[in-house]
Structure 1
Amino acid sequence: MLDVEKKTTEDVGHEDTSRPVVLSRPLVVAYTADAEAEGALRSAMGDLGDKLTLVRGNVAVAIRELARSPTPQVLIVDVSDATDPLVALDDLASVCEPDVKVLVMGERTDMGFYREITRGLGVVEYLYKPLTRDNVARLFLPVVHGRMPGGAEQVGGRIITVSGTHGGVGTTTVAVNLAVQLAESTRGYVALLDLHLQTGAATTMLGVKPGAGLRVALEEPDRVDALFLERTAVAVSDRLRLLAAEEAFEATPKPTAEGVARLMTLLRRRFNYIVVDMPTPADAALLSIFSMAQMRLLVMTPDVVSIRDATRLKTMLTAVTGSDKALMVLNRAGMQGAVATKLVERGLETKVDFAIPEIPKHLAMAADLGVPAATRNRTFAAAMQRLTKEVSGVRVGGRSGGWLSRLLGR
């Protein structure tokens, strides 16, 4: 007899709310709203045995449970009774790892709906009810076995680079707190990548020690395998991991283009957001990350040197990516002796997108305690939250633009 784990909606509500980022993931989890659909899945996928988990519940149950349990490799959800299936699927994207293959069932039979969820939201396949064993075996089962339909897009996480005009402007402070708030507000999986291999401060600000292997990954991509993240990424919370290094000052790290590409590919497969704390100036191999990024933040302070170097950074971005598009983040706004914001904008010949006020006492104390500054000061937290919303595109009162638009920045 088929050994299938069966859960009820009531069971889902009593599970532990914590969830680590894990590499061991279920193969298939299916959320079905009725017994008939469940029977069709059970019949067509019976050979999977205990690799198939059936949960009685709709897409809302899936969202609630996957916010605190591992994302399966293949996820089947029922949107039959969803008020707005498109919004529900968009919400589902925020709690799943980017590489999940999503299969959807529902009542809608129009081609427009099929095209929107498969082409616009990144869903792999859709079946309308009633399900049959033949349809499930023909259209869903091949995806389980790794055979993707022609034209299916590979989803991946959103890369956000954070660069400072020069040392001491607060680049790492912004990157760390952005990563923390992204994890908390979106409930997506977030990786913070500190590429200051010898002088990085992210570990100190978060009160953790760096893992081993980041330099090796950047220099020797052939040694990076599927277990790389498990060995190298440090768990900061259930949704946030940090990749950092503390190489000796006499060392000479030499990232390669292949190593950078391999690392970013691994991270995009696993995390919804990758916040990259970029050194200034960056190694030639690291510059390629700017081209991969969906969003670039330039952090500066209100002084003449920052104005000069912000302009130089934008020139560099144009040379590397063909565009100088970036969000200008004015940190320490209002500090003693600061250049007025209007004069900063005149020097930049563009508006400042976000201003973070000067709160040196709270920032220093937070860094010494190894906790995110946003947890210590409401003013700073509010400023960072506005930036976080811009970066994440989290919906406020309406759709944010879809699965792929949020995860891929399209």
Structure 2
Amino acid sequence: VIHSGDFKIDHTPVDGEFFDLQRVAELGAQGVTCLISDSTNAEIPGITPSEMTVGPNLERIFAGAPGRVIVTTFASSVHRVNLILRAADKLDKVVGVVGRSMLNVIAHARSLGYIKCRDDLFQPLEKLRHYPKNRILILTTGSQGEPLSALTRMSYGSFRQVTIEAGDTVVFSANPIPGNTIPVVRTIDRLIAMGAHVVYGKDKGIHVSGHGAQEEQKTLLALTRPKFFFPAHGELRMLMQHAKMAEAMGVPKENIVIAENGDVVEVSDKAIQIVDKVPSGVELVDTSREGVVSGDVLRDRQQLAGDGFLTIALSVGLDGKLTTTPDLQTPGVVTSIPRAELLADVTRTIESALSNAWSEFARRVDGGLEVDWVGIRGQIERDLQRMLRQKIQSRPGLVLLLQTPTPRAKAVAEEEATPAAGKRKRTAALSR
């Protein structure tokens, strides 16, 4: 079984480490039962440009910047970070690194020999102010508009160590991944509003994908000649396109499986199939660290953030009437209606619901009263929801706290109603 991981076939790699096509072909000749392959760029024809094509464009932008250069990219992209550091060194700039993940990656990459540069290229942020602004380059996290990333905080003016100034050039050496476009665009807008010149976009030549396009995916399929194929790492449309590509290259359709997150895929010499499913997906952990927030709790929080909640506590007697004025709480409900007026409307609606429904849900059985309180509650809730939609034009969550009397057994009630019996009970109590 071969798992490609994220791959592309780069014939001019930054680190000089070439994709070993010969070794892959040898494995294919030995026989590959299953190929699990990166599908990210399955919709893109041709090949992915080399990482080396980015270097000259970054160098040109850095050289033309009149003031500080602030660059953001994926911290995990060691080759891109290497190109940025090479350009900074060539242009006699000093580099300040911001963001824990960026600091960690650079430290580990240098210790392993993937990044080679002189020690004094890096300077602590507090010392950068001693250098001319056109010699300063700040390498930071935040290329995807992450809320807590350094660059996003800079764009809000809340990052104490670096303040965006007019004359700064901010370079986005990364494209937004699906789902991140809006936060990235908003970060760019805030940076521009602060006076920075922002360089971004596919037409600037400052980013290339780290994933192989269709021709590279075909090359891997051709060299491995797998019996079974499992497209992975991509949206469903990408997986489907990759599966079609494999089928066109000779893999039988029944030997291809498209799995969703959580699917358990079983591979043997004879078959590939989905055999089980395990829990997967995004889970919210409460700040109290008591555990994962359940779906019900999350829906309640979303309701509170949207139309709010309306909580009503009421008490109903066995005569089908309110025993007191209901208590009303309206957390998160937005309305211009005065509280007293809303409470009066709620009270009238409840009284009307009780009056109309009491005969249906309350009846005499063997001399006692039997009340369907569930039915009463349901009728009150329906009438209240109808009134609220008309009155405040929204749909707040409704929490109804209904206090009901507990009917006593007929014999007990009759006994307590007898004066003699009551006297005997009091005497017995005193003797005890």
User: TM (normalized to structure 1)?
Assistant: 0.23
User: TM (normalized to structure 2)?
Assistant: 0.22
Instruction: Give the structure with higher Rg (CA).
Output: 2
Higher relative contact order (CA 8 A, sep 6+): 1
